[in-house]
Amino acid sequence: MKVDAAVIGSGASGSVMAYELARRGHSVAVVEQGRREDPQTFEHDELSMFARTYKQSGLQSSEDRNLAVIQGATVGGSTVINNAIWIRPELDRVLPSWKAAGAPVDRASLEAAYFELEGALRVSPVPMKVANRGTEVFLRGCTNLGVKGELLKNNRHECIGCGWCNYGCRYNRKTSMLVTYIPWAEARGVEFLDRCDDANVLTRDGRATGVEATRDGQRVSIEADRVVLCAGAVGSSAVLLRSGIDVDGRVGRGLHVLGGAFVTGETHEVIDGYDGIGLTCISRTDDYVIESYFAPPVAFSLRLGGFFMSHFDRASRYRHFVDAGVMVGTEPTGRVRLDRKGNARIDMKLSKRDLARLRRGIDRLARIFFAAGAVKVYPASFKFIEFVHPEQLGEIESMIRHPDDITLGSAHPQGGNLMSEDPARGVVDPRFRVHGYENLFVADPSVWPRNIWANCQATAMAMSHYAAGFVAAEDGDG
């Protein structure tokens, strides 16, 4: 196969990139490790869908096992199994920090990309009529405590509120890449190749010449004038490293996440938080982001805390719970590397500053729940931690002193192939080209030099839309 552009990854970044290049008249092939799924076959069965649609069946984590890193592994990527939340980050905070790191981004072009995507994906506020009842409790707590809480925006259309968003929408009400940009790209001639393992970039004399992968035991080779990596903060680093591209040892370095821990509130009233959209509200400060959330019972029980009968007793109150997560934008100190078998490994630890911010967020969230009428509050912890009154919250600092005192996770990894004008500091330049290569690009969250402090979906798509102009140009200067 010979194409103008080969794209590795079919998620938020890859699908938008493929469509935008095709719209400009380029022939495009997309290589994806995951399997293409038919939404009508999606099951309301957590264990089955974890295995079908999540990277490492939902068990991907940092090397020390302290941080779960949740990503999709299917055609459409994490957009298929995410909560369809659409957040524009605070660009007054993000873009100056990126520019200071040597990564200037044109704000007008980026905002135009957000605007176009929001129209295409039918972005609108989460409808209260299909939001789970924990939404009302969370907003009530924010009001009673005097802090700002508001409904999130989402990319859904005529949602029926089944509550199974994290396992693929079998009703096609979530406007994921699987039902929007992928079929739109295919209508323009783009070919998507699923089940492609061990993808690597072929290079010669400072140029990318194509992509190779293994598909169903057969070697697939694609000759391309341009190669674009859109495999995400972990995947793109792994592909570059497997391809022998390390840019003086900088590939995979500077990984950071928006991540943290869940906190559960128990009430006297029956909430039935599983009934309706799970992720609905946000409250944020400069130190942390809080989002209300609820999950089906298996995923929920994994973070509920307690052992044996104490866990059983808590879980039996499932209908009485409200839930939310506290997230912090970590410092870019993590790293993606390969083990001896060529598999990606994540070295990521929360710093003392990150952990201090997380404790403050847990304190705030617990107070929101108590202000809403909760009788008990449980942080997701390995220790048995249970608060029954706000006065006990002063003990959080002594209870959560180390990252392994709390159950940590992230669905928003960023960095690893940092953007910088300076070839001695970054992996890609502000035109998304890998330093030292004429036609090799990276256009996904791995290039973000500093944390965006928001869910990644919207910005991953907008940045890919923005990057497509540079990729499409003959000399990379579009």
Tokens linked to 61: 């984590």
27 in Cβ contact with 21 (< 8 Å): no
Tokens linked to 363: 């304190």
By percentage, how much of the chain surpasses pLDDT 90?
A: 96
Model pLDDT for residues 149-206, shown as the tens digit of each residue: 999 999 999 999 999 999 999 999 999 999 999 999 999 999 999 999 999 999 999 9
Does pLDDT of 245 surpass 50?
yes
Model pLDDT for residues 392-442, shown as the tens digit of each residue: 999 999 999 999 999 999 999 999 999 999 999 999 999 999 999 999 999
Q: Is 345 exposed, middle or buried, given 0-12, 13-18 or 19+ CB atoms closer than 10 A?
A: middle
CATH of 2-472, one of 3.90.1150.10, 3.40.50.300, 3.40.50.720, 3.50.50.60: 3.50.50.60
**Of the candidate ranges 41-50, 303-312, 325-334, the one whose mean pLDDT is the lowest:** 303-312
Does pLDDT of 339 surpass 90?
yes
DSSP string, 283-347: EE-SS-EEEE----HHHHHHTS---THHHHHHHTTGGGEEEEEEEEE--S-EEEEE-TTS-EEEE
Can you tell me the mean pLDDT for 119-144?
Answer: 98
**H/E element, 201:** strand 196-204
Instruction: Look up the pTM and report it.
Output: 0.96
Going from the C-alpha of 299 to that of each of 165, 294, 304, 436, the distances in angstroms are 13, 9, 9, 44
d(CA 327, CA 290): 6
By percentage, how much of the chain surpasses pLDDT 70?
A: 99
Identity of the amino acid at 147: V
- What are the residues facing 336 on neighbouring strands? 346
pLDDT at 305: 86
Model pLDDT for residues 65-113, shown as the tens digit of each residue: 999 999 999 999 999 999 999 999 999 999 999 999 999 999 999 999 9
Model pLDDT for residues 440-471, shown as the tens digit of each residue: 999 999 999 999 999 999 999 999 999 999 99
Does pLDDT of 145 surpass 80?
yes
Model pLDDT for residues 211-237, shown as the tens digit of each residue: 999 999 999 999 999 999 999 999 999
pLDDT confidence band for 477 (50 / 70 / 90): very low
Can you tell me the mean pLDDT for 278-304?
Answer: 96
Can you tell me the mean pLDDT for 134-155?
Answer: 98
pLDDT at 383: 83
pLDDT confidence band for 476 (50 / 70 / 90): very low
Domain ranges of the chain: 2-472
Helices and strands in the chain: count of H runs, count of E runs: 12, 20
Mean confidence (pLDDT) of the chain = 96
Does pLDDT of 478 surpass 50?
no
SS3 71: coil
pLDDT at 307: 86
Going from the C-alpha of 160 to that of each of 165, 171, 296, 427, 467, the distances in angstroms are 11, 9, 16, 43, 35
Tokens linked to 133: 């009842």
Going from the C-alpha of 189 to that of each of 38, 184, 291, the distances in angstroms are 20, 9, 39
d(CA 102, CA 430): 8
d(CA 451, CA 94): 7
Identity of the amino acid at 354: D
pLDDT at 474: 60
- What are the residues facing 281 on neighbouring strands? 151
